[in-house]
Each structure stands twice: as structure tokens, then as C-alpha cells.
Amino acid sequence: MSRIGKAIIKVPSGVEVVVSSSNLVSVKGPKGQLTQQMDPDIKLDVTDGIISFTRATDHKRHRALHGLYRSLVNNMVTGVTQGYSKRQELVGVGYKATNDGNILDLTLGYSHHIYFEVPKEVQVKTEQEKGKNPIITLEGIDKQLVGQVAAKIRSLRAPEPYKGKGIKFVNEVLRRKAGKTASK
């Protein structure tokens, strides 16, 4: 049996989990509400503040979906109670980030500014301290959406391996290369 799929989820106080007849799971908490459509072969049972999952058969597809939907619902419960955040750092001379609402204005060494519109479900903050690299902070309740937006921002100027310039996650360890002078 799936190790992840058979693990139970404890529902914190203040969180409401509703399963409709069409296998639509809705999780409502203090930070907002998330919904997820589930496969009809995976059954979700909510009793006494505990969520458990069962699958129809032992087919490979059902085993995979068992763990998948358990993880998705667990991320939804965590998202509506605590939320998720990603912090990114701009490394490079002249690299800047400012925001006006959900419009992110990036200066990344190109001949033009890059304007990136962040979805309304994700809050963005930028901070710039003298002598330190600019930081972009993304916060939201949907783990997948926050990660996808962070990956899209990172792809605008991915860190290069020689000097490490680009957009990287805070505390990310980059694999650095020595360069052509190291061979002498």
C-alpha cells in the first residue's frame, strides 16, 4: 500500500473540509478556500477531524493516484492554515526589483525593464537594503501556484554557473564552475 496514501491528515480547528457528490473537495480555513477535483476511484473519508483515503484496486494507476490526492489535500489544509511563501534573491550589479500592487518591475541587465504580472491569488513584496541583494517574496495559499510563479520569475534570468548572477532562491546552493583560468 502507498506509504503516503495511507497516512491520515489531521484537520486543525477552524478548517472545514467538504466533499461533494462529484468528488470535488473543498477546504475552507482562516486564510481562504481551495478546491480540488478528485478521481472517482479514490475515496475520501472525513470523520472526527481526520481525513483518510482509500483506493478501489491495487492497479498501478490507483496506487499512484492514492498518494497524489493525499498530498494535494494535505497541501490544501496547510495552505489555508499557514500559507506558503518563496523568497528569491537577485544577484548581479544593477539588478533591481520593485512592485506596484501585483505588477513586478524587474531590471535584470537587459536593455529594457521586465514587467511581470503576478496572479491576484499571490501577494508579492520586494525589499531593497543598501549593500544587500534585492529580495522578492511571494506568498499565497496555493502551493502549486506560488511555486509556478516563482519558477517563472526565476526563468527570466536563471543563475549562471560562473559568477552566480541571476535570480536564485534564498539559501539555494548553486553549482559553480571554475572558468578558463583555473586550468593553468
Alpha carbon distances (Å) from 3 to 41, 68, 69, 70, 159? 18, 11, 13, 10, 36
The arrangement of strands across the sheet holding 96-100 comes to: 96-100, 103-107, 114-117
Tens of pLDDT along the chain (184 residues)? 458 888 999 999 999 999 988 889 999 999 999 999 999 999 999 999 999 999 989 999 999 999 999 999 999 999 999 999 999 999 999 999 999 999 999 999 999 999 999 999 999 999 999 999 999 999 999 999 999 999 999 999 999 999 989 999 999 898 999 888 766 6
Three-state DSSP state, 6: coil
Q: For each of the domains in the chain, give its residue range(s) and CATH number, in order of start.
A: 9-81 (3.90.930.12), 84-172 (3.90.930.12)
Alpha carbon distances (Å) from 150 to 7, 66, 124? 29, 28, 10
Question: One-letter amino acid identity for 146?
Answer: V
0.75 surpassed by pTM: yes
